[in-house]
Structure 1
Amino acid sequence: MTTPEPQPPAPQPPVPEYKDRVHRSAAGIAAGVLLLAIACWLGIDAIVAGEGSTPWRALAALLLVVPLVIAFTLRPAVYVGDDRLRIRNPFRIIVLPWGQIDALRSGYSNEVLTKSGAKFQLWAIPVSLRARNKAARQEARRSGQGGAGLGGGGLGGGRAGLSGRRGAVPDGPVRAETDQVMDDLREVLEARRAEKSAQGEVAVRWAYEILAPAGAGAVLLAVLLAV
């Protein structure tokens, strides 16, 4: 009687990998598309209809302007992962493990402060003072209306009266969109900074794919203007 050979264990299903959450500026993207359309229209027209050195100057100007427009409008993004924060700014890419981040600061710009004292700006999450003022007015208006409803009844009292006309009153204070994004990032930081997988070194890389063509265009344009 033969003993059956042991069967190998069944393969375990792979652990799913989740993509990073991405934050970008919709206004910046819209402005970038518009500026690129105008630059290409003017540049191509000068290349086709220009005379003498004008087509070469237009080509050099496009080589300079297009990468810069892309760098400051379409390129900026912030990628939020479980273990690190990746910042894609106009001329640099910064990878920050959560364990290396000391604080996320919001003032006239949104910034990341590392434990080593370095500071990096979040170009993809710009501060809008207009949005902050609007949110502050909405919060003051909501607080005033809520207090009046709770104090005297009248239209059904407090939240019930308001919800009947304008929908349910949101929980918590009214915040500007980018301020709310920064609050979410702070929550992730507090939840992940102590995890073993969220440790490591800060990595910074220059965006040579932007700097190289822009530099070549600047040199070529300077030479053509000097000739």
Structure 2
Amino acid sequence: MTSPTPPDEPQFADRIYRSAAGLVCGSLLLVLTVVLAGDAVIRGSGRTPWLALAGLLTAVPLIVAFSLRPAVFVNDDRVRIRNPFRTIQLPWAEVASVRAAYTSELISGDGTKYQLWAVPVSLRDRKKAARAASRPPRKGRGAGLSLGPGFGADAPQPTDPTVATGDQTIKELRELAERAGDPKGDGPGTATVRWAYEVMAPAVVGAVLLAVLWATG
């Protein structure tokens, strides 16, 4: 007697693209904001603690939204874009193009553009990559050198220094989209968009409290 065949499961988990600089800067800014607001709450007098709390309620969600929240989750079937105030998900078959000029953008089959906040475009990185590409390849040193176990063909390869990090990410996303074939273009309903009310609501409440305290002071 044979056991029933289990349902197909994805072989790999989602690959996640995030901005390392955004994570570092956002974390530092959060710590600085909390320290300054905490000092105002503890040592302040009169209306100062309340203003500090209202400012904290406004600033923390915005810092999280623009630095820690942006991410792009991809697998072989679909892409999920988590931007500061909304999350967009659509199958690769509905993606017409992924491109990067001064910003990174994904274009759906119906022509809708979605910005990829988690994949920033750095002109400085592009210039650095262009200089690396213009240098002649090194010879002799390192040629035929065995790096031991863990550095075989299946091991993760280092990032190509002749391609900017953002452009390399866009290239990988474009390859996934092209692998899915031509977009169907069935209309705007092919993408699902969810607004991040858990981020927007605290920021709005904090801004209203801050305005009221400031106006009545």
* Alignment partners' CA distance in 1, 2:3 and 2:109: 45
Q: Name 2:152's counterpart in structure 1.
A: none
In structure 2, do the counterparts of structure 1 residues 112 and 53 end up closer, same or farther at CA, with 3 Å as the change threshold?
Answer: same
Q: Choose which of 194, 199, 214 in structure 1 pairs with 2:203.
A: 214
Whether the 8 Å CA contact 2:72–2:81 is kept in 1: the answer is yes
- The alignment partner of 2:190 has SS state of coil
TM-score of the superposed pair, with normalisation by structure 2: 0.84
Q: Choose which of 62, 72, 79 in structure 2 pairs with 1:68.
A: 62
For residues 110-153 of structure 1, what are the alpha-carbon distances to aligned partners after superposition, in whole Å with 9 as ceiling and x for unaligned? 10111212111100010011110000001011xxx25xxxxxxx
Offset of 1:14 from its aligned partner? 4.2
TM-score of the superposed pair, with normalisation by structure 1: 0.81
1:177 and 2:165 equivalent?
yes
Count of aligned positions:
202
- The alignment partner of 2:199 has SS state of helix
- The alignment partner of 2:140 has SS state of helix
- 1:161 maps to a residue whose letter is G
In structure 2, do the counterparts of structure 1 residues 131 and 173 end up closer, same or farther at CA, with 3 Å as the change threshold?
Answer: closer
Q: Name 1:112's counterpart in structure 2.
A: 106
Q: Choose which of 199, 214, 217 in structure 2 pairs with 1:225.
A: 214
Structure 2 segments unaligned to the other structure (5+ residues)? 147-157
1:127 and 2:87 equivalent?
no
Q: Percent identity?
A: 52
* Alignment partners' CA distance in 2, 1:162 and 1:189: 38
- 1:216 maps to a residue whose letter is V
Q: Name 1:81's counterpart in structure 2.
A: 75
In structure 2, do the counterparts of structure 1 residues 84 and 193 end up closer, same or farther at CA, with 3 Å as the change threshold?
Answer: farther
Whether the 8 Å CA contact 2:103–2:115 is kept in 1: the answer is yes
In structure 2, do the counterparts of structure 1 residues 29 and 61 end up closer, same or farther at CA, with 3 Å as the change threshold?
Answer: same
* Alignment partners' CA distance in 2, 1:10 and 1:208: 45
- The alignment partner of 1:103 has SS state of strand
* Alignment partners' CA distance in 2, 1:64 and 1:195: 40
Offset of 1:12 from its aligned partner? 1.9
Q: Name 1:155's counterpart in structure 2.
A: none
Higher helix share: 1
Q: Name 1:55's counterpart in structure 2.
A: 49
After the TM superposition, list the runs of 4 or more consecutive aligned residues in structure 1 that deviate by more than 4 angstroms.
Answer: none
Whose Rg is larger? 1
Q: Name 1:161's counterpart in structure 2.
A: 140
| Structure 1 range deviating more: 128-137 or 184-193 | 184-193
Whether the 8 Å CA contact 2:95–2:183 is kept in 1: the answer is no
